[in-house]
Amino acid sequence: SNWYDGYIQKSVHNADELSSNSSCLKEHKLFQRALKFANDEEKIQLERCLKTNEKNHEAQKQADMERKYVQALDMMKTINSSTRAQNILNLLVSIAPYKDTEALIQEVSQKKKDIEILEEKYAEAWSAKRELDRLNLTDIEEINRVAGMFEALGDYKDCKSLAEEIRRSGIARIDEAKRSKRIRKWLMIVAVMALIGAGVFYAYTKISERKAERARIEAEKSEENPSSVT
């Protein structure tokens, strides 16, 4: 028929190619019209192609689901962020209920919740660390508290190394503060001694000036009354 010939010419080189068509023929409007207006012989051929196409399409669908299933299992070997967990969930949901995907969805959903809790606590610990560094705190209790926030997260990300860094840098700040305090103390002592020395020097200078003034006055008196000397 014209519908059949038009469909064949437009879509494929021959009717047999319909069997391996990547699209689902049952949902193809042009194919449905061709099937509707085909004669008995053509209809038999088209229905045979449709059956083979459905079989191939189902096989491809199964292959795609298996590929996604294997990909999801491989991704599940390392779930280190809620974003990765969500990507795995999206993959599993797209093929559910294939094999044990429903059970895997429950497992990954729980891991995602656990990771979200860790991520929130990790962010809080980082916020506390930034505040500690910004204020340059030397309070050992506060330093230990912030380091403990990271230690409480166990092996998550770089928590252990961060806790060690906080304590190491905290102790360094405390030592530096102690050194600065000692230096300020000695500078204050030196300043006080310098003030005392300046005061003594000033007093000595004034005394010397007064002595010199008295000696000058006595000398003048002697010159005015030489008889008093004899």
Q: What is the DSSP string of 182-218?
A: HHHHHHHHHHHHHHHHHHHHHHHHHHHHHHHHHHHHH
What is the rounded CA–CA span in Å between residue 96 and residue 103? 10
Mean pLDDT for the chain overall: 85
What is the rounded CA–CA span in Å between residue 56 and residue 50? 10
The residues, any chain, with a CB within 8 Å of residue 12's CB and separated by 6 or more, are 18, 21
pLDDT of 114 > 80? The answer is yes
What pLDDT was estimated at residue 228? 52
- pLDDT tens, residue by residue, 35-91: 777 788 878 887 888 888 888 888 888 999 999 999 999 999 999 999 999 999 999
Across 26-92, the runs of DSSP E, i.e. the strands, are none
- pLDDT tens, residue by residue, 155-212: 999 999 999 999 999 999 999 888 988 898 898 998 899 899 888 888 889 898 888 8
What is the rounded CA–CA span in Å between residue 191 and residue 105? 74
Q: For the chain, give the longest Cα–Cα distance.
A: 169
Find the distance separating the first CA and the last CA of the chain, reported in whole Å: 166
Percent share of the chain, pLDDT over 70:
86
Tell if the pTM clears 0.85, that is, is over it. no
